[in-house]
Chains A and B, each alone.
Chain A
Amino acid sequence: MKLSLTRQALVLAALSLLPAVGEAIYFRGKISWQSPIPPSEMVSVDQARAWGGNVIWVDARPDAEFARDHVPGAVSLNEDRWNELLPQFLAAWSPGKKVVVYCSTESCDLAREAAERLRKEAQIPEVFVLEGGWEAWLKKNR
């Protein structure tokens, strides 16, 4: 019995659902459905400020944006010049210090990627992404 085009497509779509659900269950601990960055890895401006001198601010934005303005004392560490800037960051960091990475806004992905690289490549344990990014910092500091 030959199925119509629509029924064929529906059967394929339905077949694909089963392994997809299985995979979603398998990966449930590695991804948050609510936010691109797990809440445990995000920090607000107020929380980061409360850590005082125990924080290193990392600016993941391109050089031109960093040069224009940045969080006082922040270290620039962007994807374009990662290898060149990493030693300078590592010189400023010491075990026990928390790292807070930011890019321009909430939707910008650069901070998340930089934070992930710091955790995986530099093996730094306490790395956080600033909620709201540079925009949030500016709002709190106007």
Chain B
Amino acid sequence: MRAVENLSTISYRPPTERQFVWRIVDFVVAGIFIYAGALKMLDPVQFAHDTKNYQILPWTVSVALAFYLPWLEMFCGFGLIFRFFYRGAISILTVLIAVFTLATAAAKVRGLDITCGCFGHASQHWSFPAHLATNLGILAALLALWFSNRLARRM
């Protein structure tokens, strides 16, 4: 009787329009990070130099991050798409984009003329406002995904 009762409480709910929209946002944000990660993964030497140009970290740490961060971005991107370790992926990506944004802003304040390195050398000719706007847009999308996920889990 209990098994039947349990079965009767299970019901399939088709995704709502809202959930469908959030999945699109998942895919767009994931796509951005997978693309950015792949570009940097293909040329870690240049990414190490881009990181060094911020004049925050020692060279050895820049090299280590140049090898590590692209893979972290890509794994988290796939986490968003395939929904494995979803919350962990969103958290990591949010921290990464927040740090990138702060570092770019700090470099601007210090008068350093550098490329962000966010999209490898593909973004070398972007202006500072363009970099900032892109990063803030991605950050906003990640925060929105985080809160929508929390809300969905409570319901």
Chain A interface residues toward B at CB < 8 A? 3, 5-13, 15-17, 19-21, 23-24, 27, 30-31, 33-36, 107, 109, 112
A7 CA to B84 CA, complexed, in Å: 12
Q: Does A12 contact B92, Cβ atoms closer than 8 Å?
A: yes
Tell me whether A112 and B44 are in contact in the complex, defined as CB-CB below 8 angstroms, given that A12-B76, A16-B71, A33-B63 are known contacts. no
Q: Is the CB of A20 within 8 A of B79?
A: no
Q: 30 A–B contact pairs at CB < 8 A?
A: A3-B85, A3-B88, A5-B91, A7-B88, A8-B86, A8-B88, A9-B91, A9-B92, A12-B75, A12-B76, A12-B88, A12-B89, A12-B92, A13-B72, A13-B92, A16-B72, A16-B74, A19-B71, A20-B67, A20-B68, A20-B71, A20-B72, A23-B41, A24-B64, A27-B44, A33-B59, A33-B60, A34-B59, A34-B60, A109-B49
Q: Does B53 contact A (CB under 8 A)?
A: yes
CA distance A36 to B63 in the complex (A): 9
Q: Which residues of A contact B64 (CB under 8 A)?
A: 24
Q: Number of B residues whose C-beta is below 8 Å from A?
A: 27
Closest to A17 in B: B68
Nearest A residue to B66 via CB reads A31
Chain A's interface: helix, strand, loop or mixed, by majority? helix
* B85 neighbours in A (Cβ, 8 Å): 3, 8-9, 11-12
How far, in Å, is A105 (CB) from chain B's closest CB?
A: 11
- Given A30-B45, A36-B48, list of 14 further CB < 8 A pairs? A5-B88, A8-B87, A12-B79, A12-B88, A12-B92, A16-B72, A16-B74, A19-B71, A23-B41, A23-B44, A23-B71, A31-B44, A34-B59, A34-B60
Any chain A CB within 8 A of the CB of B123? no
In angstroms, Cα B76 to Cα A99, docked, is 45
Listed in ascending order, the chain B residues whose CB lies under 8 Å from chain A are 41, 44-45, 48-49, 52-53, 55, 59-60, 63-64, 67-68, 71-72, 74-76, 79, 85-89, 91-92
CB-CB under 8 A for A36 and B52, given A16-B72, A20-B68, A20-B71: yes
Tell me the complex Cα distance, A15–B86, Å.
14
Cα distance A5–B89 when bound, in Å?
9
With the chains together, A17 CA to B69 CA distance in Å?
9
Chain A residues lying within 8 Å of B71, measured Cβ to Cβ, are 16-17, 19-20, 23
- A23 contacts B87, CB within 8 Å? no
CA distance A16 to B69 in the complex (A): 8
Contacts of B74 in A (CB 8 A): 16
Contact partners of A10 in chain B: CB under 8 A: 88
Q: Whole-angstrom distance between the alpha carbons of A48 and B42 in the complex? A: 34
Could you tell me the distance between the alpha carbons of A109 and B115 in the complex, rounded to whole angstroms?
A: 12
Is B88 in contact with A112, judged by CB distance below 8 angstroms? Answer: no
